Amino acid sequence: MELGLQDRVALVTGGSKGIGKASALALAREGAHLAICARGKELLESVAAEIAAETERTVLPIVADLNKEEDAQHFVSAAVDHFGRLDILVNCAGNSPGGTLQNLEEHQWMESLNLKFMGYVRTTKAAVGHMRERRWGRVINVIGNDGIKPIYFELTPGAANAAGINFTIAIAEELAPHGITVNAVNPGPVDTERWWGLVRTLAREMNISETEAQERAVRSMPMGRLCTAEEVADVVVFLASERASFVTAASIAVDGAQRKAIMDI
């Protein structure tokens, strides 16, 4: 299937690891040029070089901390200055440590919302003006199914994800007349570095071993396994493509039909 991504310019936040890295690589394999950002310079530049070598696409690494509005604006403006255009934005930066109400400090709530939610708001606000000029654009927000399936030991990610889904659907309506689609991808448990941090939180909160926490997670999945970052990236790439031209304001679960909470298993 021809996806129409050849020579498109895609920006991917959180592009140095996990779902962000997998999405950047998948877009480059379909012919897109990339700008990727993360806070860690060394890993970011290494991943950019790795993707460029495999795909022969231009990959521009830009160090940015999306807790800061000026960094979000710099990421977008530096990419546009380099490529002369912007077609696709994949928001994938940030995570939250989770925890229960009694164990979370106020600063942890604010840190989670500032990066995982407001980081998405900042980059989207900086990017959509460039898309309006071309009357074509794709914004894909990688959020998470905690936003629609609250879990008591993941309060901060759940709150940020719920806000992100609301934001996605609301701005999709605003931007549709300008030829810009906006969609949310909501993974369940994905086998990434971030997932293992959540396993440690679950084990601590439930007073069980990390092995038992992982086994419970797998048992909560009807498919009997975790999702991979590449499986989420495949959905991201489709939503970025010409083939998804009438898909907007969608909130797409990539959770293997997981319906039972891990603590209920």
pLDDT of residue 161 exceeding 80:
yes
| Range(s) of the chain covered by CATH 3.40.50.720 | 9-188+229-253
Q: Nearest Cα to 23, choosing from 117, 114, 115, 88?
A: 88
pLDDT of residue 32 exceeding 90:
yes
Q: Give 123-148 pLDDT, tens digit per residue.
A: 999 999 999 999 999 999 999 998 88
Higher pLDDT, 220 or 55: 55
pLDDT of residue 209 exceeding 70:
yes
User: What pLDDT, on the 0 to 100 scale, is given for residue 261?
Assistant: 58
**Residue 87, SS3 per DSSP:** coil
Are β-strands 88-91 and 180-187 bridged in parallel, bridged antiparallel, or unpaired? unpaired
Query: Among 48-57, 90-99, 232-241, 249-258, where is mean pLDDT lowest?
Result: 90-99
> Average pLDDT for residues 192-214, to the nearest whole number?
80
Cα-Cα-Cα-Cα dihedral sign, residues 38, 40, 43, 44:
positive
Cβ neighbours for 207, distance < 8 A, ≥ 6 positions apart: none
Query: Among 20-34, 144-158, 221-235, where is mean pLDDT lowest?
Result: 144-158
* Cα distance between residue 146 and residue 194, in whole Å: 14
Q: How many residues does the chain have?
A: 265
User: What pLDDT, on the 0 to 100 scale, is given for residue 263?
Assistant: 52
Q: Give 150-159 pLDDT, tens digit per residue.
A: 888 789 999 9
Given a contact cutoff of 8 angstroms between Cβ atoms, the answer to whether 20 and 90 are in contact is: yes
Fold classification of 9-188+229-253 (topology level): Rossmann fold (3.40.50)
Percent helix, strand, coil in the chain, to 5, is: 55, 15, 30
* DSSP states of 38-83: ES-HHHHHHHHHHHHHHH---EEEEE--TTSHHHHHHHHHHHHHHH
The pTM for the full model equals: 0.94
User: What pLDDT, on the 0 to 100 scale, is given for residue 127?
Assistant: 98
> Average pLDDT for residues 79-102, to the nearest whole number?
92
> Average pLDDT for residues 9-28, to the nearest whole number?
97
> Average pLDDT for residues 72-95, to the nearest whole number?
96
* Cα distance between residue 147 and residue 164, in whole Å: 8
- Tell me the CB-side half-sphere exposure of residue 195, using CA atoms within 13 A: 18
How many CB atoms within 10 Å of residue 60? 19
* Cα distance between residue 21 and residue 193, in whole Å: 12
Band of pLDDT at residue 55, cut at 50, 70 and 90: very high
Cα-Cα-Cα-Cα dihedral sign, residues 221, 222, 224, 226:
negative
Query: Among 42-46, 94-98, 122-126, 161-165, where is mean pLDDT lowest?
Result: 94-98
User: What pLDDT, on the 0 to 100 scale, is given for residue 99?
Assistant: 81
Tokens of 200: 């440690």
User: What pLDDT, on the 0 to 100 scale, is given for residue 197?
Assistant: 73
Given a contact cutoff of 8 angstroms between Cβ atoms, the answer to whether 212 and 205 are in contact is: no
Given a contact cutoff of 8 angstroms between Cβ atoms, the answer to whether 185 and 200 are in contact is: no
Share of the chain above pLDDT 70, in %: 97
User: What pLDDT, on the 0 to 100 scale, is given for residue 260?
Assistant: 61
DSSP designation for 99? B
User: What pLDDT, on the 0 to 100 scale, is given for residue 262?
Assistant: 57
